[in-house]
Structure formats: C-alpha cells, structure tokens
C-alpha cells in the first residue's frame, strides 16, 4: 500500500520515521516480524524522493539513562541493511549529536529508552529529537498508547506530522471490530504478564462475551483459583487482582475458559527439557507449565468454531521453545480463513513460520490495539489531531 499523505513530502526532506522495531529476540537472534517488514514500503517511498530517513524506535524496557548492550539496535542494523539492500548507519549519540544523514541515506537511532526523559516525556528531549527534521511520520502503531518523548512529545514539537499507512490501517481494523454486533465474539488472550494486560482485559469484557486464556497470564489466574502450579511462572503479587478480574468477568456475563490441561517441563523450561502433558490439577512441585495441553486446544478450537469473529493476542505457551508453541500453532490454523484479528509482537513472531495462514487483519500492536479498542483513541492519535488543528489554525 502506498501512503497518499506521503505525497505531501517534498523532495530531499529530512524525514524522521517513528517505527516500532521492538521485536522479540531469542539468544540474541532477532525474530523479525511485520513490525519491520511493514515499514519497508514507506521507507522506499521516501527514498524515491531522495529524502534522508532517520528511523527511531524503542526496544524493551531498559533502565532509563544507561546504555545496555542487550537492548541495543546494533545487531538489527545488518538485518535492516540486507532487507533494504542499502547501507544503514547506526546513530548511537542521537539526539545529542544531530543526524548528519545525506539525501537518500538511512540511519537508525539507538534505542530511545536509553535516553533519560524518554518515558517521562521530557520536552527538552523531544525538541532535540526533531531539531533539523522537516517531517515526522508516526507509523509506530504498537506504541500509540505511550506518551513518551519519541511519540507524543516529538509530535508536539515537529514542524509537520503525518500518520503512516500502517498506523492508518490499524485504526480502520479496530473500527471494524467496534462496529460489529452480535454475541459470538471471542478474545483469545495469552502472553506472559497478567499485570500489564489487566487494565485492558477489564475493558475487553465490554466487547467480548467469551474469553479463552493461555500463557503465563493464565497461570496467574489459575493459581488465584487455587491450583498448585509447581515451578510455573506466576505473578504472585497480582493474585488479588487476578481474583477480582475473574469476579468482574462473571458480573459482565463473560465466560472465561482457562486451560484444563497443560504441557509441563521437568525443572525449568529450557531446550531439551523432558516434558509431559498433565491435567491442570496434577502438576508436581518440580514441573513448570510451558504450553496449554491438547484437551484445552480441542476445547478452544470448538469455542472458535462457534464465533462470528475472534481476536487473538499473545502466545498460549513459551513459544520461543519448540515444545511451547504447539498450541498456538494449532489455534492459529483454526483461526485462519475465518474472521479473525491477530495482534501483538510476540503473536506475529509466533506465526511467522506459517505465511499461508490468512487473517482479517494482523495487528503489530498488542497493548496499543487493546487500548484503542477500549478507548476509541490513543495519546498518539490525540497528538496527531492536535497537530492538524494547529496547522489549520495557522
Ligand atoms: C509493545 O511491544 O507492546 C510496544 O512496543 C510497546 O512496548 P512497551 O509495552 O514496552 O511500551
Ligand atoms: Mg510487547
């Protein structure tokens, strides 16, 4: 898709493209997904105009104010250069040192979250970020729910702001969900942390009468229900919230399916560990949940079949391990071809090896998708609207 609004960009402009290259890495190897591949058409479109392009993204959640090698974009540079078929320069000192990119050159700024003031949305930092930039293209839909210096901060300070094609497509997909009527709507929610998804899960109860859960998030819910889960990942400091969430779901008449069986590793989950399948009430103290089990998969498949559409966010198991991705793969196959939206960086990486599967929409956003769904707007969208109002009133 070519973004019509990019036609507004003048030849040889200095473009800052806010992307979300916050993609999973396993043992240092990048699991590249649509968060990167979807940005290529915009980059190429700008290159055709001989623009210089500064790519800006965050990665992970490092301690602000420090460089931490494991969160550096250094190892992404060769991947990006190979994909774009042109050199890409890492800019480690940006924005302290302004970008000195030539027309037609691509630079990748180092992780914005190394910068003090990024997550606290420092005005000085966002001003520095757009110094010397003609236009900011905000395409990082996956962090549209974050009010950070490199998102809303920068948009407030920029001379001109455009919303990228991918961002626009995501908004349209969400609108298509909220315009749906009828009772048969399912949210299939996995991923590791219940704590980060809870506020949005609560909102989801308004849209989805049925929920199927998996991943670490389900462990915390199951433990709160009283199941001993051995050495499985559990957020012990969120058990009260887990209980309260299940109660709230009941009040909303939302049926929550939890795994009835699971795959467990003997000892900590790592490659080569011994695994077995057990009913949810038969986990031994030295066993850790790595995936939901075949009975649960069969039940969830059955639930999927009864829906007019489904939304899936978050893997059902530790998908980075071979034995932790089986349920997610089977459920992805079941969702494929039907009316299904799938989203989130981990979910996309989890299904990357199955390009033939078809979904109504693949969202790069996890939290941001849920945020927009629940609130019908996002901090980034508000900043964009404000920038348009300002342009009109000038
Ligand atoms: C994501 O992966 O959901 C986005 O990149 C946002 O990351 P964050 O939750 O660390 O802000
Ligand atoms: Mg994430």
* Residue keyed to tokens 């012990």: 236
The ligand whose atoms approach the alpha carbon of 143 most closely is 1
- Asked whether residue 1 carries a pLDDT value surpassing 60, the answer given is no
The pLDDT value given to residue 150: 98
Summarize the confidence of residues 230-257 as an average pLDDT: 97
| Residue 120 CA, ligand 2 centroid: distance in Å | 19
Q: Is 369 helix (H, G, I), strand (E, B) or coil?
A: helix
Residue predicted with more confidence, 282 or 206: 282
Distance 202 CA to ligand 1 centre (A): 19
Other C-beta atoms within 10 Å of 34: how many?
A: 17
Read off the pLDDT of each residue in 18-39 and give the average, rounded to a whole number: 94
Average of per-residue pLDDT across 240-244: 98
Mean predicted confidence (pLDDT) in 103-110: 98
pLDDT higher than 70, residue 180: no
Q: What is the pLDDT of residue 122?
A: 98
Distance CA 156, CA 153 (A): 5
* Residue 394 confidence (pLDDT) above 70: no
Sign of the torsion angle spanned by Cα atoms 87, 93, 98, 100 = negative
Backbone angles phi, psi at 90, to 5 degrees: -80, 135
Nearest-ligand number for the alpha carbon of 144: 1
345 φ, ψ to 5°? -60, -45
What's the sign of the alpha-carbon dihedral 176, 347, 384, 133? negative
Mutate to test the pocket of ligand 1, among 20, 113, 380 (most ligand atoms within 8 A of CB): 20
Instruction: Give the number of other CB atoms < 10 A from CB of residue 156.
Output: 18
Entry field: residues in the chain: 394
pLDDT of residue 167 exceeding 50? yes
Rg (CA), the chain: 22
Residue of minimum CA distance from atom 6 in ligand 1: 143
Q: Which helix (H) or strand (E) holds 212?
A: strand 210-213
Give the mean pLDDT of 20-27.
Answer: 94
What is the token pair recorded at 189?
A: 């929610």
Q: Which two tokens stand for residue 333?
A: 């196959």
The token pair at 182 is 């009828």
**Mean pLDDT, residues 262-283 taken together:** 97
Give the distance (Å) from ligand 1 centre to CA of residue 168.
18
Range with lowest mean pLDDT among 146-150, 187-191, 363-367: 363-367
pLDDT at 196 over 70: yes
C-alpha 305 to ligand 1 mean position (Å): 31
Stretch 171-195: mean pLDDT: 85
Rounded Cα distance between 202 and 181, Å, is 19
Judge whether residue 2 has pLDDT over 50. no
> Which of 392, 391, 356, 352 is closest to 38 using CA atoms?
352
Q: Quick count: other Cβ atoms within 10 Å of Cβ 116?
A: 13
Residue 76 and residue 21 in contact, taking contact as beta carbons nearer than 8 Å: yes
DSSP state of 285: T
pLDDT, mean of residues 127-148: 97
Instruction: Give the ligand with the smallest distance to the CA of 22.
Output: 1
> In the prediction, which pLDDT does 393 show?
73
User: Ligand 2: distance of its center to the CA of 68 in Å?
Assistant: 19
Alpha helices in 28-162 (DSSP H): 34-37, 40-48, 77-84, 123-130, 154-157
- Please name the residues in contact with 374: beta carbons below 8 A apart, sequence gap of 6 or more: 200, 203, 204, 206, 207
pLDDT digits (tens, 9 = 90+) for 208-231: 999 999 999 999 999 999 999 999
Write down the mean pLDDT value for the chain: 94
Mutate to test the pocket of ligand 1, among 146, 198, 315, 369 (most ligand atoms within 8 A of CB): 146
Residue 24 is predicted with a pLDDT of: 92
């Amino acid at each position: 898709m070519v973004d019509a609004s990019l036609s507004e960009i003048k030849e040889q402009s200095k473009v800052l493209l806010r992307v979300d290259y916050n993609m999973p890495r396993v043992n240092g190897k990048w699991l590249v997904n649509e968060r990167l591949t979807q940005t290529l058409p915009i980059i190429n479109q700008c290159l055709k105009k001989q623009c210089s392009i500064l790519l800006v993204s965050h990665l992970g959640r490092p301690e602000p104010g420090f460089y931490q090698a494991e969160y550096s974009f250094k190892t992404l540079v060769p991947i990006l250069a190979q994909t774009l078929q042109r050199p890409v320069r890492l800019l480690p000192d940006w924005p302290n040192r302004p970008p000195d990119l030539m027309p037609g050159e691509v630079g990748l700024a180092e992780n914005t979250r190394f910068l003090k003031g990024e997550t606290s949305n420092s005005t000085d930092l966002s001003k520095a970020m757009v110094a010397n930039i003609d236009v900011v293209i905000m395409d990082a839909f996956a962090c549209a729910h974050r009010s950070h210096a490199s998102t809303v901060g920068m948009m407030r300070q920029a001379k001109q702001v455009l919303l990228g094609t991918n961002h626009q497509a995501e908004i349209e997909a969400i609108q298509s969900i909220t315009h749906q009527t009828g009772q048969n709507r399912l949210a299939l929610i996995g991923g590791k942390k219940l704590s980060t998804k809870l506020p949005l899960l609560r909102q989801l109860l308004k849209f989805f009468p049925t929920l199927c859960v998996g991943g670490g998030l389900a462990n915390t819910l199951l433990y709160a229900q009283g199941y001993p889960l051995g050495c499985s990942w559990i957020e012990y400091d969120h058990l009260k919230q887990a209980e309260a969430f299940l109660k709230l779901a009941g009040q909303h008449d939302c049926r929550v399916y939890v795994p009835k069986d699971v795959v467990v590793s003997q000892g900590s989950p790592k490659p080569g560990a011994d695994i077995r399948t057990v009913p949810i009430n038969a986990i031994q103290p030295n066993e850790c949940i790595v995936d939901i089990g075949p009975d649960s998969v069969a039940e969830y498949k059955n639930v999927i079949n009864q829906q007019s559409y489904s939304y899936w966010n978050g893997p059902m198991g530790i998908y980075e391990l071979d034995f932790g991705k089986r349920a997610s793969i089977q459920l992805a196959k079941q969702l494929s071809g039907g009316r299904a939206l799938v989203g989130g960086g981990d979910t996309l990486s989890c299904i990357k090896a199955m390009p033939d599967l078809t979904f109504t929409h693949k969202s790069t956003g996890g939290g941001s998708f849920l945020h927009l769904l629940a609130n019908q707007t996002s901090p980034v969208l508000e900043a964009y609207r404000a920038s348009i109002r300002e342009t009109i009133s000038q």
